[in-house]
Chain A
Amino acid sequence: MKMNDEELRQAYRSYVMEKTPESRRECPTPEALLDAFSPEASLELKDALIDHLSRCSSCAREFELIRESLTQAEALSESFNRIYGKKPGRSSGSSGFRPFFRQAWAYTLATMILISAGAGFLLIRNARARIAGRGGARSGSPLVRPVGLVDGSAPLIFKWEPVEGIKYYVVEISNESLLPVWRSPRVFAPSLSLPPAVQTALLKAHRYYWSVQAFDKSGYRSDSERRTFILEPPED
């Protein structure tokens, strides 16, 4: 039987829509679904998310809602800009020389922004070269521990090598599907003790991945490699 694209789509969608999850606890958060559309999101994350969508009708629907609302939001903000331009109600009544001065200021400001952007670019490039020079283009901070099987009853401490010129770090833990399950607040030292409430929520005998994002003063992010750990179940 030959099927055209539309029939294939209908059949596949109906296949996915039958995959009702028993619970949503293992699903990516709504924010993770939204983040997947960001150009900064890693390919691994994007792939892992799509794999999940094909097994979970609820997430597939939410993904579609987010995708279409992004398009709508784009159109809405474009129309807003076209109609109002700047803040409505503020520019009314301006005439004579004021627009000219405003325009002159705008050009001056634009020139200054361009100059600072150029300087900023050079600074960032130097900083990137420094970060990349220590461990390759994508390895911001070499990870030390935990790696492999770890004692689930002891506090879990993450440790990594410090990187020169870094302002703060963020630790991210992902599940087996590489979907983030926890993200730390900003950490200013190269180690982090996992909050007990988070550690309790991690499942024993399940594989988790962790990585460190290092941010420099300009906000440039470099990602570490990913390491895996498994919390050892308590002995009977």
Chain B
Amino acid sequence: MNKDAEKEFEAFLLRFMGFIRAHIGKYNIQRYGLDPDDIAQEVRIKIWKLLESEKNVVNYSSYIKKIVNSSVIDQIRKLRRQEEIFLREVQNHVSDREDPYKPEYLRAAMMKEMIGRAVEGLIASRRNVVKLYLLNMGIEEISRYYGWSVHKTRNLLYRGLADLRETMRKTELDHENE
């Protein structure tokens, strides 16, 4: 096996592991007692096994995607099992939560609620495009998700965002007039 190629691929794997570690970290999974390196390590082992094996794989590209997807799905399943226990615990300790009646919490909460409601009030064809955009997806990703052209997606998104801002502006005016 070419040493340079091996090093280059190792670098890609490291970058991938970094991504997975950072992403899994968002779940704050330490509270569930799981190790953030598990998933990246699993992918790494499976890929190296593939490289070492004599398996007759026709399409490596899709095989690797399957390895990644199945490892991610396995990890999500583990997380869910732990989360069920955690959620039950949280409900038993609702009183331990921070005081939600401080003025700064109230203001922020009202703003979030207003945005949430305004998004739900958008017309159906624009609503989900806007939701995906607000959940960090780019226009191209949204168009791939729906199988639409970028042009159509952009149109729906811009109109949806304009509607959203208009609704928020009106709601704010209503609040000021009250």
Contacts and interface: CB of A to CB of B under 8 A. Distances in A.
Given A61-B26, A66-B72, A80 B135 contact: no
B12 A75 contact: yes
Q: Which of A12, A34, A47 has its CB near the most chain B CB atoms (within 10 A)?
A: A12
A137 B62 CA distance: 30
Contacts of A12: 112, 115-116, 119, 131, 134-135
B60 A65 contact: no
Contacts, number: 156
B141 interface: yes
Contacts of A87: 57, 60
Interface in B62-99: 62-65, 68-69, 72-73, 76-77, 79-80, 83-84, 87, 90-91
A79 B8 contact: yes
Given A34-B69, A37-B145, A84-B9, A15 B116 contact: yes
A232 to B, nearest CB: 30
Interface in A53-80: 53-54, 58, 60-70, 72-80
A60 B27 CA distance: 11
B128 A77 contact: no
B123 interface: no
Size bracket, chain A contacts: 35 or more
B8 A83 contact: yes
Interface string B107-151: 010011101100110000000100111111100010001110000
A89 interface: yes
B61 interface: yes
Interface string B5-24: 10011001100100110011
A31 B73 contact: yes
A151 interface: no
B94 to A, nearest CB: 11
A79 B6 CA distance: 11
A43 interface: yes
A18 interface: yes
B37 interface: no
A30 interface: yes
B156 to A, nearest CB: 13
A6 B106 CA distance: 21
A204 B63 CA distance: 41
A88 B60 CA distance: 11
A50 B62 contact: no
A83 B9 contact: yes
Nearest to B116: A15
Closest 7 CB pairs of A and B: A73-B68, A12-B134, A15-B112, A77-B61, A77-B64, A30-B76, A15-B116
25 contacts: A8-B115, A8-B161, A8-B164, A9-B134, A12-B116, A12-B131, A22-B87, A23-B87, A24-B80, A34-B72, A34-B73, A46-B128, A62-B76, A64-B23, A65-B26, A65-B72, A67-B137, A73-B68, A75-B12, A76-B68, A77-B60, A77-B64, A83-B8, A88-B5, A89-B1
Interface of B: 1-2, 5, 8-9, 12-13, 16, 19-20, 23-24, 26-27, 47, 51, 57, 60-65, 68-69, 72-73, 76-77, 79-80, 83-84, 87, 90-91, 108, 111-113, 115-116, 119-120, 128, 131-137, 141, 145-147, 161, 164-165, 168, 172
